[in-house]
Amino acid sequence: MDIDTKRIPFLLEGKKVLVCSFGDMVRSSLTAKLEEMGCTVIDAGRKNLDLANQDDVFAFFKKHSPDAVFALETKFGGKYASQTMPAELLYRNLMMAGNVIEAAYNAEVQKLLFMGYTSVYPKDAEQPMREDSLLTGPFESVNEPYAVASLCGLKLCQFYRKQFGCDFISVMATNVFGPQDNFDLTYGGVIPSLIHRAYEAKMTNKQELEVWGSGTPRREFIYADDLADALIFLMERYSDSLPLNVGTGEGATIAEIVEKIKDVVGFDGTVNYDTSKPDGMPVKVSDISKIKALGWEPKISLLEGIRKTYDWFGKNYESIASQTQGVPE
Ligand code: GDP
């Protein structure tokens, strides 16, 4: 790291901050925290702005003229979507990254943070994955649409910094979960999908819970509030071209996570591992020593996060079950 110390701290208090995000989960945590800090937050969520439409994005930036931009969470539909709609995922995510970064440059935004994912690391990266493993080997094929789009966002930030001197930074976030996640049984990530499935199994007295893959993959999960906290921390305190890992640094196997979900939900039937479904990367855990050295660490444990997420899910079950969630448009 070679932090540009003249550019930090970049204090957010009193600033006009644009939050571009396809999903609701991290956006809502981040917005609440920014408002508490005295920022004016402009919501560029998918209901307000089509981030893949260049004219709309440019006009939106011109109209609002933000001081700072968080470019978050692209279109996501988990493993099933990456196999069935890879063209759509890559196209939309590339467009969002390109449009937002170019618009921020044109609008002379003072600072931008782009969030990619740790699925950008090579499938054989040494574990836990360090920042210098980026681009040292091929992607895991199941992750490819997300990985390629993340990589383009990270590179755009580096190149706008290099060519134009923009204070654009980027991060690679680990798997995130929390309230307002996509709880779709097919298109959600493992934690929200399994909370949903376990809850319905309990309510209908089903004795079996279906889990995809072998249960042996090891993953790292960050609770959405912790991620939002890290993004704010880095926006204020980090200015360098190196994309930084954001996570907890701690892994758990899917089987261990399933046990936690069973306990929290109160489902005590058997688990049926469906090995016809893909496992994805065998291990995906990031090394967070760099962000820790800057002074940030996560606060919410995996179990506490699952409890909070289940609590929200239970309160919102009727509306979740009544919508077909799929991959939001
Ligand atoms: P990723 O593999 O890190 O991209 O994240 P996912 O949340 O899609 O999957 C994590 C792991 O959980 C993978 O090994 C999946 O095979 C496994 N898994 C088990 N059951 C499910 C499920 O119902 N949905 C999803 N998405 N993954 C599941």
pTM: 0.96
Half-sphere exposure for 221 (CA within 13 Å, toward CB) = 24
- Which atom of ligand 1 lies closest to the CA of 284? 3
Measure 212 CA to ligand 1 centroid, in angstroms.
7
Phi, psi angle pair for 74, to nearest 5°:
-85, -175
| Positive or negative: CA dihedral 189, 192, 196, 199 | positive
Which is nearest to 234 in space by CA: 10, 16, 4, 2? 10
CA angle 237, 243, 247 (to 5 degrees): 80
146 is catalytic: yes
pLDDT computed for residue 325 by the predictor = 58
pLDDT computed for residue 324 by the predictor = 60
Q: Quick one: tokens of 204?
A: 């209908």
- Note the pLDDT tens digit of each residue in 171-186: 999 999 999 999 999 8
- Note the pLDDT tens digit of each residue in 71-115: 996 766 777 888 899 999 999 999 999 999 999 999 999 999 999
Report how far residue 253's alpha carbon sits from residue 282's, in angstroms, rounded to the nearest whole number: 10
pLDDT computed for residue 323 by the predictor = 76
The predicted model gives 266-293 an average pLDDT of 95
Q: Which residues are near ligand 1 (CB < 6 Å)?
A: 78-79, 119, 143, 175, 189-190, 193-194, 211-213, 217, 219, 254, 277-280, 284
Residue 273, beta-bridge partner list:
211
- Note the pLDDT tens digit of each residue in 5-18: 999 999 999 999 99
Length of the chain: 329
